[in-house]
């Protein structure tokens, strides 16, 4: 799993929030890269979770300053909302 770099004032990134649930914000960066994924934010921490299934299902691609409990819950929410989030990715990247 990669450590996610934080974006600073000198490198602002625009990313709309596509879902809010249980204190988490799920965002998709404009001008991001494949594979389709979401960035999940809560209480100053973040994770990056894939929207396409690998051999073991959806994958946690990176984590920075989120508890294991929050990462697990974020993954559950992504699984519950996978189709909606994948549709949002498609709307942005067509």
Q: Which residues contact 78 (CB under 8 A, 6 or more apart)?
A: 26, 38, 40, 49, 51, 58, 85
d(CA 27, CA 37) in angstroms, rounded, equals: 9
Q: How many CA atoms lie within 13 A of 48 on its CB side?
A: 17
What's residue 12's pLDDT? 55
Give me the residue spans of the domains in the chain.
17-93
Average pLDDT, the chain: 87
What are the pLDDT digits (tens) for 15-26? Answer: 789 999 999 999
Provide CB contacts within 8 A for 43, sequence distance 6+.
Answer: 23, 66, 70
pTM of the entire predicted model: 0.84
Provide the pLDDT for residue 93.
86
Write the DSSP string, 43-58. TTEEEEEESS-BTTBS
pLDDT recorded at residue 2? 44
């Amino acid at each position: 799993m990669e450590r996610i770099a934080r974006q600073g004032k000198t490198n602002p990134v625009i990313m709309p929030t596509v879902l809010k649930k249980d204190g988490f914000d799920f965002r998709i960066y404009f001008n991001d890269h494949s594979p389709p994924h979401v960035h999940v934010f809560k209480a100053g921490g973040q994770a990056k979770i894939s929207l396409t299934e690998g051999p073991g299902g959806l994958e946690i691609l990176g984590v920075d300053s989120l508890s294991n409990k929050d990462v697990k819950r974020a993954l559950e929410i992504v699984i519950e909302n996978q189709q909606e989030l994948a549709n949002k990715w498609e709307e942005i990247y067509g």
